[in-house]
Amino acid sequence: MPMYGDLGNKLVQHAKRTQNLAHLPPYQTELIRAVTREVRDLDKDVASLLEPFQGSFDPSADQATACTLLVNHLSMRRNKRCLLAYHRTRTDKLEELVWNGSDVLDLAGQQAGGANGAPAADGGASSSLSPQEEDYVRQYGDLLAAYKGQWTDIDLTGSLEPPRDLFIDVRVLKDAGEIQTEYGAINLTKNSQFYVRHGDVERLIAQGYLQKLG
Amino acid sequence: MSYYDIDLILTDAEKIPCTFQLDIPDLGYLDNTPTQPLKAGTKVNLPLWLAEMLAIANAGDAEGRSFVTFDLPPALGNDVVQALKADPRAVPLRDQSAHFYGLATQMMELSEEQELAAALRKTFVIRASEVALHARKVGGAGQRGKGGADEGSNLGVGGAGEEFLRGLDEWERKLFRKAHDGTKSGKEWMESIKKH
């Protein structure tokens, strides 16, 4: 027999699994909808329970109704907590991904669209993020860029490991176009290999365009 | 302790046995009989998030009764506590509840069971040192067992150890992971120092 709050619990179990994953699993649109529907139903129940009292409900005069109201209220409160915790777990993860410099929107599209590497150009319907989450990532990315912009001589999202060598070998995993370096322009086409300055390509490695060799 | 704490929210879903103190026409569904009123004296297992407030809230009558009274869940029942007193390491807490300590802490806040609290404290202390021991061994075996990975993990954990680790509750699991990762990182750091 399903009970109020059971669906919310399922959502939190999803969140628990998400915590231990490197990537972000698909947004549980259906479940979210079901939980919010449950809250609306409960709210309707409360309204109809209170209607005969015309705004002058006395809990001590009608304890049974008071108890029903309390149960309804607690169920709504529980659902709210489950919903918020689920979304918070996901936004925490998204923020982490943004700080790590991974291309979150591209990544999400790829995961859902299979391994053929097609970017999410089909309106994001196959993305593992909800439209709101995509918006969140975009705006959080802008915020981080603005914050970083205040210090031009230090890269806040750069690696904390001091480099062993100034130059490294990299292989190109995805076409990344042309980049400008101190030693001229390099055209990064897929499967080619380069010996480049670490600092010049650090971001591209983090974003998954290049792979460090050796 | 956070509103958004996933483990805390899951702990709150653990059920405890409750007894309703008054007839409530609309809550029959809690006892699987949606069409019938819930009679006073009905026993129902309710999740903590619901039971807690129903037990604390005053029903509003002269005697100051609450809507429900509750008992300790089976996970904290006499059998389990006796077994824990005999040997805390021999009881797979996970089989009682995945959030054993979380559940126990919540129950302690609702009722003062001095003896139970003392038994649980002792249980945690004894088991925690065992957890730490295993966490160190697993890391060590991984280093030694370069030739055969299977042999290595057997050396470290052993049959009885594996059984014990399987019975850890969520809190103990976290402890194990922290202790294990700590040992591993420490070792890695030492080795990187030697290299340079």
**Is the Cβ of A44 closer than 8 Å to some Cβ of chain B?**
no
| Burial of residue B188, with CB atoms counted within 10 A of its CB: 0-12 exposed, 13-18 middle, 19 or more buried | exposed
Interface of A with B in 60-89 (CB under 8 A): 60, 63-68, 70-71, 74-75, 78, 81-82, 84-85, 88-89
Q: Do A71 and B50 touch (CB under 8 A)?
A: yes
Contact between residue A61 and residue B40 where contact means Cβ atoms under 8 Å apart: no
Contact between residue B67 and residue B32 where contact means Cβ atoms under 8 Å apart: no
3-class secondary structure for B6-54? HHHHHHCCCEEEEEECCCEHHHHHHHCCCCCCECCCCEEEEEHHHHHHH
Q: Do A16 and B4 touch (CB under 8 A)?
A: no
Q: Do A16 and B60 touch (CB under 8 A)?
A: no
Note the pLDDT of residue B66: 87
Note the pLDDT of residue B151: 38
**pLDDT exceeds 50 at position B156:** no
Note the pLDDT of residue A115: 42
User: How would you label A139-172 residue by residue, b for 16+ Cβ within 10 Å and e otherwise?
Assistant: ebbeebeeeeeeeeeeeeeeeeeeeeeeebebeb
Residue indicated by tokens 């021999």: B90
Kindly report the average pLDDT of chain A as a whole number: 84
Which residues in chain B touch residue A68, judged by CB atoms under 8 angstroms apart? 24-27
pLDDT band at B182 (very low <50, low <70, confident <90, very high): very high
Note the pLDDT of residue B141: 47
Chosen for mutation from A16, A44, A71 (greatest number of chain B CBs closer than 10 Å) is: A71
Note the pLDDT of residue A60: 81
CA distance linking residue A168 with residue A214, whole number of Å = 8
Q: How far is A165 from chain B (nearest CA, A)?
A: 14
Q: Do B50 and A75 touch (CB under 8 A)?
A: yes
Q: Please indicate whether residue B152 or residue A173 has the higher confidence score (pLDDT).
A: A173
Chosen for mutation from B50, B58, B196 (greatest number of chain A CBs closer than 10 Å) is: B50
Q: Residue type for B158, please?
A: G
| Burial of residue A179, with CB atoms counted within 10 A of its CB: 0-12 exposed, 13-18 middle, 19 or more buried | middle
Residue among B6, B23, B27 whose CB faces A85 most closely: B6
Note the pLDDT of residue B99: 94
Per DSSP, what are the bridge partners of residue B13?
none
**pLDDT exceeds 80 at position B50:** yes
**Is the Cβ of A59 closer than 8 Å to some Cβ of chain B?**
yes
**pLDDT exceeds 50 at position A123:** no
Per DSSP, what are the bridge partners of residue B24?
B38
**pLDDT exceeds 60 at position A140:** yes
3-class secondary structure for chain A? CCCCCHHHHHHHHHHHHHHCCCCCCCCCHHHHHHHHHHHHHHHHHHHHHHHHHCCCCCCCCCHHHHHHHHHHHHHHHHHHHHHHHHHHHHHHHHHHHHHCCCCHHHHHHHHHCCCCCCCCCCCCCCCCCCHHHHHHHHHHHHHHHHHHCCCCCCCCCCCCCCCCCCEEEEEECCCCEEEEECCEEEEECCCCEEEEEHHHHHHHHHCCCEEECC
Residue indicated by tokens 């031009």: A152
Q: How confident is the model over B21-49, as pLDDT tens digits?
A: 989 888 888 888 888 888 888 999 999 99
Contact between residue B49 and residue A78 where contact means Cβ atoms under 8 Å apart: yes
Q: How confident is the model over B52-111, as pLDDT tens digits?
A: 999 988 766 666 778 999 999 999 999 999 999 999 999 999 999 999 999 999 999 888
Taking residues A109-135, report their average pLDDT.
61
Q: Do A68 and B22 touch (CB under 8 A)?
A: no
Note the pLDDT of residue A142: 92
**pLDDT exceeds 90 at position A57:** no
Taking residues A167-176, report their average pLDDT.
88
For the ranges A76-90, A198-212, B115-129, B173-187, which has the lowest average pLDDT? Answer: A198-212
ipTM over the 0.85 cut-off: no
**pLDDT exceeds 70 at position A108:** no
Q: Do B22 and A63 touch (CB under 8 A)?
A: yes
Reduced DSSP (H G I as helix, E B as strand, rest coil) percent helix, strand, coil of chain B, to 5: 65, 10, 25
Note the pLDDT of residue A116: 44
Which residues in chain A touch residue B25, judged by CB atoms under 8 angstroms apart? 64, 68
Taking residues A131-156, report their average pLDDT.
89
Note the pLDDT of residue B60: 64
Kindly report the average pLDDT of chain B as a whole number: 85
Tell me the backbone φ, ψ of residue B45, rounded to 5 degrees.
-85, 120
Task: Tell me the whole-structure pTM to 2 decimals.
Answer: 0.79
Which residues in chain A touch residue B29, judged by CB atoms under 8 angstroms apart? 1, 3
**pLDDT exceeds 60 at position B176:** yes
* Of B41, B105, B109, nearest in space to B76 by CA: B105
Q: What angle do CA A110, A113, A114 make, to 5 degrees?
A: 85
**pLDDT exceeds 90 at position A43:** yes
CA distance linking residue A60 with residue B62, whole number of Å = 9
Helices A63-99 and A104-112: crossing angle in degrees, nearest 10, is: 110
Residue among A5, A74, A88 whose CB faces B4 most closely: A88
**pLDDT exceeds 80 at position A191:** yes
**pLDDT exceeds 50 at position B125:** yes
Note the pLDDT of residue B75: 93
Note the pLDDT of residue B155: 42
Tell me the backbone φ, ψ of residue A146, rounded to 5 degrees.
-65, -40
Tell me the backbone φ, ψ of residue A138, rounded to 5 degrees.
-60, -50
pLDDT band at A137 (very low <50, low <70, confident <90, very high): very high
**Is the Cβ of B115 closer than 8 Å to some Cβ of chain A?**
no
Interface of B with A in 20-79 (CB under 8 A): 22-27, 29-30, 32, 47, 49-50, 53-54, 57, 59-61, 67
